[in-house]
Structure 1
Amino acid sequence: MQITDCARSICGVTVFCKVDVVRCAIFAMAKGLISWAWLKKPYYIQARISYLRVKYLFFTWLAVFISSWVVYVQYSSYTELCRGHQCKSTICDKYRKGVIDGSACSSLCDKDTLYLGKCLSTKPNNQVYTGSWGDVEGVVKCQMGEVLHYELGAEMEPRKEATLFDKPTKGTSVEKFKEMVFSHLKAKVGEQANLLDLASLVLSVADGNKDGHISLPEAKSAWALLQLNEVLLMISLQDKEHTPRLLGFCGDLYVMEKVQYTSLYGISVPWLLELWIPSGVRRSMDQWFTPSWPRKAKISIGLLEFVEDVFHGTFGNFLMCDVSAANFGYNDKHDLKMVDMRRIVPEASLREAMRDRRCGEDGDCVYGADCRTSCDLTKRRCTPEVVQPNLAKACLALKDYLLRGAPSEIREELEKQLYACMGLKGASDQMEMEHSLILNNLKTLLWKKISYTKDS
């Protein structure tokens, strides 16, 4: 009792003993700590909330900044590449002034039944859109700027003329226009026994309203179109199943048949994701998204047949200068259809251009992506003969496509023939014979394997 009382009196007044002093000290410290904890807790919570708020605001600002930058880049790219409204405005202005005419002019400019849809352009000078023309779906292509002639060059960019649609001039007779067309075709595809037949095809296309007469506006449109390799090829190969049809035109704007599937294989991903995907993973992704092997074989046979169409065809030899998967497509029956033929050029034009090109090494003698000649170091000029024929480049494009998933019983033979095909040389004395032999062997091997399947 005395100790307890003493403890109370000590803590209350001024009496001291060792045990009580210790107890009072502990009591005071505990009381102080509890008071400090209660005082400190609100400040800690406030600091924590402030930190989270700043962190949240920072990441919100960062997300808004990145999103705005992506939208700006996308919008800038879109407005630079996709100028279909400008193209339509220019074409329709020329049409309403009576400068040009064609089978698609009235639908494009007066009736609004030719509609430009999704933008597919990859270069500002070459406007490409999906389109609908009444009940028909197509692809609309238009040349931006004062563009008339395409010259052979590393960039494959069109050369600008002082005045667009300036030929033929007023007063030119139909006979004179025929002579102009014939001379142009002769320079383009070379001397051909049936050049008159090709000129007749061009003149039949020029008659847009099919009234049996070619007006001056129609002639101006036809002349502008005739400078474009793709249009020339569509006219030359209009009866071939792997060439898209020319549906109509107005000036140098033209509508071609739409291809349902616009690449041999692959999957499209947003460009921002494309930057982060390793090339090996991208190739694997391409291979994942392909048709079944029998269908791939049928599509490949179509490509080999197209090579036949352009190799010493009816109206000369054409060279495939960009043999990439994006230029080939197919329909719902898995028949190959060309998607982009702008880089398929007449051999005569390429030889003439390369002959005049100066060089210091073989790398200077390249047209497009795949048409290569060698450099004659003694003359410092490119040689006119291409290093590889079309078939060798087509087999290179098909190698991974065909070998993946190939039946085991033909895989070894298929690989052997593909590598023999890729080894073809353009300047070989026996090239034409080897070309025909390898092409027929490949087609036969593939047809034998799929001829009894539903995919054939």
Structure 2
Amino acid sequence: MSAMAKALFPRAWVKKSFYFQARVSCVRVKYLFLTWLAVLVGSWVLYVQYSAYTELCRGHECKSAICDKYRRGIIDGSACSSLCDKETLYLGRCLSTLANNQVYTGSWGDYSGLIRCNLGEVVHYELGEEPEPHRQAFAFDKPTRGTSVEKFKEMVFNHLKSKLGEDPNLASLVSQILSVADGNRDGRVSLPEARSTWALLQMDEVLLGLLLQDRGHTPRLLGYCGDLYMTERVPYGPLYGLSLPWPLVSWVPGGLQRAMDQWFTPSWPRKAKISMGLLELVEDIFHGTYGSFLICDLAAAHFGYTDRHELRLTNTRVMVPEDEFRRSMQVLKCETDADCVYGVDCHTSCDSTARRCRVEPLQPNLAKACGALKDYLLRGAPSELREELEQQLYSCMALRGNAGQMNMEHSLILNNLKALLWRQISHTKDS
């Protein structure tokens, strides 16, 4: 090797070494920058999540406010001692989606269920600050001191009458509510128990749940303290068995969502039994014991089912007494039929002359229930049944609330559909 080549070799090696070190330094800087960026973004996400959690999940506030009033003798109920003294009633995982409507999984001895508590105005505070209790949901000032049991019964009766209208069975419903009000089962309703019961009755979802739980259509009320109450857990829900996390809902196409819904349903005989439960619910609230009710949102998310595949209406807020619906629509001004909507899907038509909504619902509950069950029941249906089932479902969906002879058609279609499903599942172990 010439002297010149020997001189050039170390120079080239040093040059390559310099380039290599510079490249390593550049990569290291990139990694450091990405790590710093990941930490920054992660911290921001944690901050947002924690802020959202502390804003939505305020169970400690709820318990503190309830137990304070219980210890001061303002309220009482079947769950008060377990919640505040014995601490055997636990608030578990937070399910709240609204800050003033607290929802938690809960356990109470051998029972597991959902605990709900209403909070007043939402207080905004900075991260790291301790929120101050600010409860204005109920003042628990009724009934007042000195109110007799007979006067309280009259208060309850008049409240039910305002909600449900005139009904000959209201007196028996009052007796049922007073039985629930006697939380410690001592044979009398104390003033604190009466105040808790009165607060619960102001919430339509509790009142309607009490109306339907004897028929097994809603989760059973397990206990209460003030306006905090616990209902039994419905293990399977929603109806289709799959609930996407809210960030994914807007990203997954509707067609794919419907297909995914169907993948997570039980076997067909079990779907038929669950569907029978929905039809029986519709039957029981159509000119039922305490009048007629409308279901104004028949989305699958509002229903669940038990281990025995018995349907439960898990959100009674979607129900409304028909008298209340008519009163609301009667005063509603309109330009087109699109203005005459109550809830999500209780519709009436617009009287263009008077510019007022008519009071007659366009679709009965049964027609909407059949629409909700169509895809659910037809997928996987036995081949020998499918054609007849499809015909009956479409006849059911064509029912109109303002048609003549609707009551007769309603009963005929409902009975035929129930009989068809029952023939298929009566011999199965799930029946």
Structure 2 residue 287 is matched with structure 1 residue 312: yes
Partner of 2:425: 450
Q: Secondary structure at the match of 1:71?
A: helix
CA positional deviation for 1:291: 0.9
The AA in structure 1 aligned to 2:180 is V
Return the TM-score normalized by structure 2: 0.90
Question: Do the aligned partners of 1:228 and 1:342 also contact (CA within 8 Å) in 2?
Answer: no
CA, structure 1 residues 328+46, in 2 after alignment: closer, same or farther (shift >3 Å)? same
**Whole-angstrom distance in 2 between the partners of 1:35 and 1:411:** 86
CA contact (8 A) 2:103 2:114 kept: yes
| Aligned match of 2:145 | 170
Residue among 230, 254, 257 paired with 1:255: 230
| Alignment match, 2:404 | 429
Q: 1:452 to 1:348 in 2, by over 3 A?
A: same
Equivalent-residue separation in structure 1 for 2:83 and 2:352 (angstroms): 52
1:346 Cα deviation from its structure 2 partner? 1.3
Aligned counterparts of 2:137 and 2:99: Cα–Cα separation in 1:
19
CA offset at residue 398 of structure 1? 1.4
1:51-101 CA deviation, whole Å, 9 max, x = no partner? Answer: 322332333334334433333333232222222211111111111111111
- Residue equivalent to 2:362: 387
What's the CA shift for 1:45? Answer: 1.0
Are residue 377 (structure 1) and residue 352 (structure 2) matched? yes
Report if aligned partners of 1:266, 1:285 keep a CA contact under 8 Å in 2.
no
d(CA) in 1 for partners of 2:308 and 2:67?
A: 37
Normalising by structure 1, we get a TM-score of 0.85
| Structure 2 residue aligned with 1:246 | 221
For residues 62 and 429 of structure 1, the distance between their equivalents in structure 2, rounded to whole angstroms, comes to 68
The alpha carbon displacement at 1:146 in A equals: 7.4
Residue matched to 2:206:
231
- Aligned-partner Cα distance in 2 for 1:308–1:59: 62
The alpha-carbon distance between structure 1 residues 162 and 113, as it changes in their structure 2 partners (threshold 3 A), is closer
- Maintained 8 Å contact 1:354/1:384: yes
The answer for unaligned runs of 5 or more in structure 1 is 1-23, 148-159
Shift of 1:50: 2.6
CA deviations 1:125-176 (Å, max 9, x no partner) are 22111111111112111111179xxxxxxxxxxxx98962121122222222
Change (3 A) 1:133 1:419: same
Q: Aligned pair 1:138/2:113, yes or no? A: yes
Q: How many residue pairs get matched? A: 419
In structure 2, relative to structure 1, the CA distance for the partners of 1:203 and 1:297 (3 Å cut) is: same
Residues 162 and 37 (structure 1), Cα distance of their counterparts in 2 relative to 1, 3 Å cut? closer
Where does residue 97 of structure 2 map in the other structure? 122
Residue-by-residue CA offset, 1:380-429 (whole Å, 9 max, x unaligned): 33322222211122122212211222222222222222222222222222
Corresponding position of 2:75: 100
Distance in 1, Cα, partners of 2:17 & 2:350: 81
Find out whether 1:47 has 2:16 as its counterpart: no
Residues 269, 53 of structure 1: CA spacing in aligned structure 2 closer, same or farther, 3 A cutoff?
A: farther
Correspondence 1:280-359 to 2 at 5 A: 280-359=255-334
Question: Residue 129 of structure 2 aligns with which residue?
Answer: none
Aligned equivalent of 1:78, options 53, 58, 82:
53
CA distance 1:441–1:76, shift in 2 (3 Å): farther
CA contact (8 A) 2:367 2:396 kept: yes
CA distance in 2, matches of 1:295, 1:416: 21
- For 2:194, the aligned partner's letter is A
Deviates more, 1:367-376 or 1:135-144: 367-376
**Aligned-residue identity in percent:** 69
Q: Is the 8 A contact 2:120 2:136 kept in 1?
A: no
1:132 maps to a residue whose letter is: S
- Report the counterpart of residue 183 of structure 1 in structure 2: 158
Counterpart in the other structure of 2:126: none
Once residues 358 and 164 of structure 1 are traced to their aligned partners in structure 2, the CA distance between those partners, rounded to angstroms, is 34
Q: Deviations over 1:189-213 (max 9, x none)?
A: 1111222111221222222222222
1:215 aligned partner: 190
* Structure of higher CA gyration radius: 1
SS at match of 2:317: coil
| Range that drifts further, 266-275 or 239-248 | 266-275
CA offsets, 1:416-450, max 9 Å, x none? 22222222222222222222122122212212122
Distance verdict in 2 for CA 1:41–1:276, change over 3 Å: farther
Judging changes above 3 Å, is the alpha-carbon distance between structure 1 residues 97 and 68 closer, same or farther for their aligned structure 2 residues? same
| C-alpha contact 1:261 1:331 (8 A) present in aligned 2 | yes
Q: Which runs of 5+ in 2 are unaligned?
A: 123-134
| CA positional deviation for 1:277 | 2.8
Which residue does 1:17 correspond to in 2? none
